[in-house]
A = this chain, B = another copy of it.
Amino acid sequence: MSSFGTLFRISTFGESHGKGVGVIVDGCPPCLKLSEADIQVQLDRRRPGQSHLTTAVSIVVHLTTVIHNSQRSEADRVTIQSGTENGVTLGTPISCFVPNQDQRPGDYKEMNAVPRPSHADYTYQEKYLVAARSGGGRASARETIGRVAAGAIAEKWLKEQYNTEIVAFVSAIGEVSTKGVDINTITRDEVDKSLVRCPDKEAVVEMQKVIESAKADEDSIGGVITCVIRNVPTGLGEPCFDKLEAKLAHAMLSIPATKGFEVGSGFEGAKMRGSAHNDMFFRRTDGKLGTHTNFSGGIQGGISNGEHIFFRVAFKPAATIGRDQETVDFSGKPATLAAKGRHDPCVTPRAIPIVETMAALVLADAALIQMARKTAGLYLQQKE
């Protein structure tokens, strides 16, 4: 289904070439200052072609084109339709809508009879016996606009309530990886300094080359995003099935084009011994316990321990490429597919706000659930 969350619950809708896309955010706490500007900032980071960066102009311009040419003309301007009055949330459902301005179904005509390899054309047809015949329908990247709008609201609340900071950055493009990015201090401003959204100045040069090379070959390339969440209260996440890392994994693997998720030590942790992997406790200056190391990634037994949460998400190369592809049509007859429409050589940089806002949705929901438990538990404990 197109809903996510329990107490902070969102429902999205919208195909790529219909009237628009949007989301209902149900359960956002009341009394939160909220305007469309709060939401627009992440939609703008998701949307391409709006960079004001001054560094490396020639490359920037070039890369902008490369990465974002597909949607330059769509402003993705959000409207709040309900749930706020006088700039404050009412506690009632907040509906956000973004119209589709740029509808060019013609671009995809050729694909109608031919399911695009590694896209969702074939599986939607199998699932629903019918499929949107233009632009991927619900499987389009535009579906993520609703998530980003909703998650921007979750971020705002987490910031107000806990001063929580969520920062994601590109940590790999193809074979090129970052080194030494400090997740304790990294900021969104630093991330946005490069169009690749990678704060490692040396890596970014190589990454840009990798992307340009893929573009020159009418091809695409995958990448990895690392995300850190700072100032997380302890106690978030439910034991058993709704462990905090399980919900984060669910959220991340629900983003189009993702193939993997790892938290804390991740797959490297599987190679380690317990004596090295265990995070020893110490007493912090505020009296609470902290851990010297953080292989746990801020989560133990499915519950946040107050340390930074960090995780990595793998993105496959975009399925839509300009190169000819030898495949078959829906009837099984051989066909050569050449995408003439929109396509990005690397979608990973644009996924940064999607990763951040999905993480915010998971945390906001877990925080509200824990708020109920803790308020009740504290009262009962103090009665003794």
Contact = CB atoms under 8 A, between A and B. Distances in A.
A325 interface: yes
Given A249-B252, A267-B312, A269-B317, 10 more contacts: A3-B241, A4-B241, A12-B24, A20-B82, A22-B95, A31-B129, A93-B138, A143-B240, A245-B258, A368-B373
Contacts of A376: 29-30, 157, 161, 368, 371
A126 B30 contact: no
Interface string A230-273: 00001101111111011111111110101111111111011111
Interface stretch (A38-46, A56-64, A70-78, A221-229): A221-229
B126 A274 contact: no
A120 B235 CA distance: 11
Contact of A253 (B19, B22, B245, B368): B245
A341 interface: no
B371 A239 contact: no
A124 B279 CA distance: 16
B91 A377 contact: yes
A249 B378 CA distance: 32
Interface stretch (A47-55, A181-189, A197-205, A300-308): A300-308
Contacts of A118: 274, 277-279, 295-296, 300
A375 B371 CA distance: 7
25 contacts: A3-B9, A13-B82, A13-B83, A19-B81, A20-B81, A24-B24, A29-B376, A30-B128, A31-B377, A31-B381, A85-B132, A90-B132, A91-B130, A97-B97, A119-B301, A120-B303, A138-B239, A160-B380, A161-B376, A254-B302, A259-B265, A261-B261, A280-B325, A280-B327, A283-B332
A312 to B, nearest CB: 8
A300 B123 contact: yes
Contacts of A139: 239, 301-302
Q: Report how many copies the assembly holds.
A: 4
A92 interface: yes
A314 interface: yes
A1 B26 contact: yes
Contacts of A373: 27, 29-30, 91, 127-128, 368
Interface in A359-384: 368-381, 383-384
A196 interface: no
A291 B117 contact: yes
B127 A271 contact: no
Contacts of A378: 129
B270 A372 contact: no
Interface in A67-117: 79-83, 85, 88-95, 97, 115, 117
A66 interface: no
A7 B137 CA distance: 21
A370 B127 contact: yes
Contact of A246 (B2, B13, B250, B275): B250
Of A9, A90, A259, the most chain B CB neighbours within 10 A belong to A259
A219 to B, nearest CB: 5
A357 interface: no
Given A127-B370, A377-B30, A120 B321 contact: no
Contacts of A137: 85, 90, 92
A131 B259 contact: no
A36 to B, nearest CB: 12
A249 to B, nearest CB: 4
A208 to B, nearest CB: 16
B129 A30 contact: yes
